[in-house]
């Protein structure tokens, strides 16, 4: 539905190379492209991934190392195209290998 700001963020993904759910990224509708930041943190609070590209996503690697099964925390800042306000979202994602 156009004109309705909406955000969906999955709670798990499986970066195993099978082409299904290999990348973790939110699905966003009606957002400003220039005001977006998506970050992923490990269990100790260290930022391990960040992007400002709405189509970018995390492949589960950390500093080039293969993905490791664990629970990670994410944070997103994004400006709605419908009301012009910046919204903050937080949550967690389970990486399954």
Q: What pLDDT, on the 0 to 100 scale, is given for residue 2? A: 64
When pLDDT is averaged across residues 65-86 and rounded to a whole number, the result is 94
- Tokens coding 90: 């937080």
pLDDT (average), residues 22-38 = 92
pLDDT at residue 20 above 70?
yes
Distances (CA, A) of 74 to 26, 66, 68, 88: 10, 19, 16, 11
Q: How far apart are CA 51 and CA 97, in angstroms?
A: 23
Residue 17 has pLDDT above 70, yes or no: yes
- In terms of pTM, does the model score above 0.75? yes
């Amino acid at each position: 539905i156009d004109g309705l700001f909406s955000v969906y963020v999955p709670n798990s993904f499986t970066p195993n190379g099978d082409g299904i759910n290999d990348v973790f990224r939110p699905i966003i509708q009606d957002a400003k492209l220039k005001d977006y930041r998506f970050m992923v943190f490990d269990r100790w609070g260290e930022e391990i991934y960040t992007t400002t590209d709405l189509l970018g996503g995390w492949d589960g690697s950390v500093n080039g190392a293969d993905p490791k099964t664990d629970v990670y925390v994410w944070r997103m800042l994004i400006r709605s195209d419908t009301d012009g306000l910046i919204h903050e979202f937080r949550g967690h994602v389970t990486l399954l290998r």
